[in-house]
A and B are shown apart, each in its own frame.
Chain A
Amino acid sequence: EVQLVESGGGLVQPGGSLRLSCEASGFTFSSYWMHWVRQVPGKGLVWVSRIHSYGTSTDYADSVKGRFTISRDNAQSTMYLQMNSLRAEDTAVYYCARGNNYIEQWGQGTLVTVSS
């Protein structure tokens, strides 16, 4: 069974940093692009970033470019999102997702709250 489990969310002050993790199981992790998508509770989905199966290529939404860094460790079947210079508008549930084109599978999400 494919599983994506996010962790690392929590409360952080504006300007602070947080690192999210996504642990994958049930499939060959190194064969898939992986994504982060976020959602403010009660609002729509916003694509954040993606990383190539070998980690050789990354893309970001303009709203996070220069502040967030996506990475992966294929040996550990884990993807990360390093979030720096956090702002109130980064408050959201962050979903880890798998997909070489469309997103096939989603995690349950982890909540990040940026507030003083």
Chain B
Amino acid sequence: DIVMTQSPDSLAVSLGERATINCKSSQSVLYSSNDKNYLAWYQQKPGQPPKLLIYWASTRASGVPDRFSGSGSGTDFTLTITSLQAEDVAVYYCQQYYDPPHTFGQGTNVEIK
């Protein structure tokens, strides 16, 4: 199974500042035949189901503010929130969908400092 490891587990960022979450996979999730990284990011707020933010490692889902961006390739990926807003307080998860089981990272809790 592909193991997904996020860092940090938790971070506190001031309003308007940048938040950066890292995700590392135990093997590459880049599919060479189509040059796509099979990596998604989700946001989960308390009491709600997760919501898709980013897919193919860097494509924003419909309706997601452009302060959210994804980058990386192969085994190392980053979710960046460029200017943290109060409504961004949530747990963020990466997930690989390259190979079943489609494993998730352990989650990163983002809070306001």
Interface residue ranges, A against B (CB under 8 Å): 35, 44-47, 50, 59-62, 95, 99, 101-109
Contacts and interface: CB of A to CB of B under 8 A. Distances in A.
Interface of B: 1, 38, 40, 42, 44, 49-52, 55-56, 61, 93, 95, 97, 100-107
A44 B52 contact: no
Contacts of B49: 95, 106-109
A45 B101 contact: no
A60 to B, nearest CB: 7
A17 B52 CA distance: 31
Contact of A106 (B38, B51, B102, B106): B51
A65 to B, nearest CB: 10
12 contacts: A44-B105, A45-B42, A45-B93, A45-B107, A46-B104, A47-B103, A102-B52, A102-B95, A103-B97, A104-B52, A107-B49, A109-B49
A26 B100 CA distance: 27
A101 B55 contact: yes
A99 B40 CA distance: 12
A4 to B, nearest CB: 9
